[in-house]
Amino acid sequence: MRVLGIDPGSETTGWGVVDGDARRYRLVEFGTVRANPRERFAARLLKISDGVAAVIEKFRPDVCAVEESFFAVNAQTALKLGHVRGVVLLAAERAGVEIAEYAPRLVKQTVVGYGAAEKQQVQEMMRVLLKLKEPPAPFDASDALAVAVTHLHHAGRPEVSKDKAAPARAKLEALLAANPRRRAPR
């Protein structure tokens, strides 16, 4: 299976392509799509969308695994990140590529073994797991590779069912279903 991992960012969006399965995988390539922070935000979104579409066209992944948004202290930052995720999802959907989404904490837990791992730890684990001489840089690219590896480890699991719900959301929904008196936070 070929997986394109994406770490969305409004200035730098990381991407990484990995072939394999949960037991064995290998790096194909990684990089970033950079947008000038001085450009209008809409122009940056277009550049990111076009860049992701070009990566999809070049590498023809089976799956596009995208990191979910985290809860940012700054609402404006979270909103912009949501827009970036939207254009990434649109590019993958337009290309007919299956989409999977993973919470940042699950990605870190999967590749490092600790859900609050630092970016340097994720970067070093990508070097080790993908048998690279140097850690993949920048952090945006190593994070994207971690998202791709996470998909290889979680593909086919119940929480990533046919509806492609994000694992964290699927777990929350299962907990709420098991205890109907609990309500999801709004």
**Active-site residue set:** 7, 67, 140
Could you tell me how many residues make up the chain?
Answer: 186
β-pair partners for 42: none
Strand pairing of 25-34 and 63-67?
A: unpaired
Query: Distance of alpha carbon 132 from its chain centroid, rounded?
Result: 20
Would you put residue 10 in left (φ > 0), alpha (ψ -120 to 50) or beta?
A: alpha
Is residue 58 within 8 A of residue 95, CB to CB? The reply is no
Is residue 152 within 8 A of residue 4, CB to CB? The reply is no
Helix (H) or strand (E) holding 68: none
d(CA 76, CA 117): 25
d(CA 38, CA 83): 17
